[in-house]
Structure 1
Amino acid sequence: MQTIKAALCREFNAPMTIEDVQLRAPEMGEVEVELEAVAICHSDISFWQGGFGGQVPAVFGHEAAGRITALGQGVHGLKVGDPVCVTLIRACGHCDCCGSGMPTICETPFDAVAQSPISLPDGTPVMQAMASGAFAEKMVVDQSQVVAIPDSIPMDAASLISCGVITGVGAAVYASEIRAGDDVVVIGAGGVGLNAIQGARIAGARRIVAVDLVPEKLEAAKEFGATDVVSAEGKPWKEVKQVLGRGADAVLVTVGAAPVYDMAPRYLARGGRIVMVGMPHGDKTSSYSPLIMADAGQGIVGSKMGNVVVKRDIPWMVDMYQQGRLKLDELISARWTLDQINEAIADTLAGQARRNVIMMK
């Protein structure tokens, strides 16, 4: 066991405290990573608020980058000193979903308390939220969650790839099945939404319409590839259809708000599809007309972490960044220290930030 500092949640929706916790050594198939940058995702906030379940004490954080400091037995393709992205995608590699190329929905369960490598000094288990626990100096995770990256990529930019970028770009490229010439609507121009816009551009969409309430976010959407922007006030689907001349082939909902899902079918063309990216709290529900959607040949599909395969897609996205074809640096709103975790979360909740990044070094 080693002692590290972590942002510990002892009560949902209450300020986290920086405390000493115990981190065990990596076991079979596990990797220890000393963290250098961790971005704040809205999923971290939803867990902290108690909206996604779980228990306390807990360490949140999952959008991370750092360097490997120790390896358990049976780890292949990684070595001590490697710079890495660390994701929440813990994949067994042998269930039906993993074997079908869908590791983001691996069927093998992970008990975030019983299997957690984190504990309090008195031995009390600490929940390793999302199999990660990255709001800390170090983390121990399964090797499937770790992807080596070049030394040349800045750690703050790399951390964004681990969730927000793969989620948004992957939702557009993979889950949406956007084809060249398709018309796309992205609802929400926050961190994930901007990446969905980038993904739609990469996939060859004809028109990409961003919808948001905040004028500054709509301006940012243009920077990331939106061809048109529409305010979410009133009945935005009417203006979107005027812009496109029809409905959209794909509507990506990147905000975690159930009422937005209620409205999403209104944007669709016949044969179009809604892609569920943003995740409302577990007690929230949405409704739609099965008759209307079935008659129009429309569909709804879930997208978890962009349906990516991290060992394949993170190197691809790093290369796109290095070519100047994928924006990462422009996603960073501000950099904070671990001691400022509560202020960084408050700033994220204020709604203006693209991505706030906790710098560990």
Structure 2
Amino acid sequence: MQKIKAALCREYGAPLTIEEVMLRAPQMGEVEVTLEAVAICHSDISFWQGGFGGHLPAVYGHEAAGRVSALGEGVHGLSIGDPVCVTLIRACGHCDTCGGGHPTICETPYDSVGQSALSLEDGTPVMQAMASGAFAEKMVVDQSQVVAIPESVPMGAASLISCGVITGVGAAVYASGITAGQDVVVIGAGGVGLNAIQGARIAGARRIVAVDMLPEKLDAAKEFGATDVVSAEGKPWSEVKKILGRGADAVLVTVGVAQVYDMAPRYLARGGRIVMVGMPHGDKTASYSPLIMADSGQAIVGSKMGNVVIKRDIPWMVDLYGQGRLKLDELISGTWRLDQINEAIADTLTGSARRNVILFK
């Protein structure tokens, strides 16, 4: 066991406290990563607010990058010192969904308390949220969650790949099923939304319409590849249909607001699909007209982490970044120290940040 500093949550909604916690050594199939960057995702904030349930005390954070600092038995393809992306996608590799090529929805349960590598000095277990616990100096995770990356990728940019980028790009490229020439609406032009816009561009969409409340976010959407932008005020679906000449083939909802899901079908063309990317709190619900959607041949599909396969897709996205075809550095709104994490969360909650990143060096 070793002592590390971590941002600990002891009460939902209360400021995180920087404390020393215990981190056990990696066991069979596990990897210890010394972190250099972790981005703040809205899922972390939802956990901190108590919207996703869980246990306390807890360490959140899951959008991370760093270097391998220890290896458990049976780890293959990684070496001490390797720069890596660390994701929350813990995949067993042998259940039906993993075997079917869908590791993001692995069916093997993970006990974020009982299997946690973290504890207090008195032995009290600390929840390793989302199988990660990256608001800390180090983390121990399953080898399935880790992908080696080139030395040339800055750690701040690399951390974004681990969640926001694969979630947004993957939602457009894989989950939406869009094909070249189809039209896409992306609701929400925050960090994930901007990546969904990039993904729609990469997939060959004809028109990519971004919808958001904030003018500065709509300006950013244009920078990242939106062909058109529409304010979310009033009845934005009417304006979208004027632009497209019909409804959209895919509507990607990247904000975790249930009321937005209520409105999403209004943007659709016949045969169109709603892609659920943003995650509202667990007590929130949305409603639809099954008759209208069934009669129009429309669909609602879930997208967890963009339906990606990280060993395949992270190297692909890193290569796109190296070619200048995928923006990463431009996603970073601000950088902070671990002891500034509460300020970084507050800044994220203003809604103006693309991604705030905690840097450890």
TM-score between the two structures when normalised by the length of structure 2: 1.00
1:129-152: CA deviations, max 9, x gaps?
000000000000000000000001
Q: Aligned partners of 1:106 and 1:238: how far apart in 2? A: 39
Question: Helix, strand or coil for the counterpart of 1:20?
Answer: strand
Q: Does 1:239 align with 2:227?
A: no
Q: Does 1:297 align with 2:328?
A: no
Q: Does 1:331 align with 2:331?
A: yes
Q: How many residues align?
A: 361
1:93 match: 93
1:186 match: 186
Listed as ranges, the gaps of 5+ residues in structure 1 are none
Q: Aligned partners of 1:7 and 1:93: how far apart in 2? A: 31
Alignment of 1:148-163 (within 5 A): 148-163=148-163
1:48 match: 48
Question: Helix, strand or coil for the counterpart of 1:156?
Answer: helix
2:256 match: 256
Q: Which runs of 4+ in 1 moved over 2 A?
A: none
1:171-208: CA deviations, max 9, x gaps?
00000011000000000000000000000000000000
Q: Aligned partners of 2:23 and 2:360: how far apart in 1? A: 17
1:244 partner amino acid: L
1:23 match: 23
1:84 match: 84
1:143 partner amino acid: Q
1:269-307: CA deviations, max 9, x gaps?
000000000000000000000000000000000000000
Q: Aligned partners of 1:112 and 1:357: how far apart in 2? A: 24
Structure 1 residue 76: Cα displacement: 0.4
Listed as ranges, the gaps of 5+ residues in structure 2 are none
1:220-271: CA deviations, max 9, x gaps?
0000000000000000000000000000000000000000000000000000
Question: Helix, strand or coil for the counterpart of 1:34?
Answer: strand
Q: Does 1:104 align with 2:108?
A: no
2:55 partner amino acid: Q
Q: Aligned partners of 1:207 and 1:156: how far apart in 2? A: 30
Question: Helix, strand or coil for the counterpart of 1:269?
Answer: strand
1:322 partner amino acid: G
1:201 match: 201
Structure 1 residue 127: Cα displacement: 0.1
1:326 partner amino acid: L
Question: Helix, strand or coil for the counterpart of 1:255?
Answer: coil
1:68-114: CA deviations, max 9, x gaps?
00000000000100000000000000000000000000000000000
Structure 1 residue 52: Cα displacement: 0.3
State the identity as a percent: 86
Structure 1 residue 55: Cα displacement: 1.0
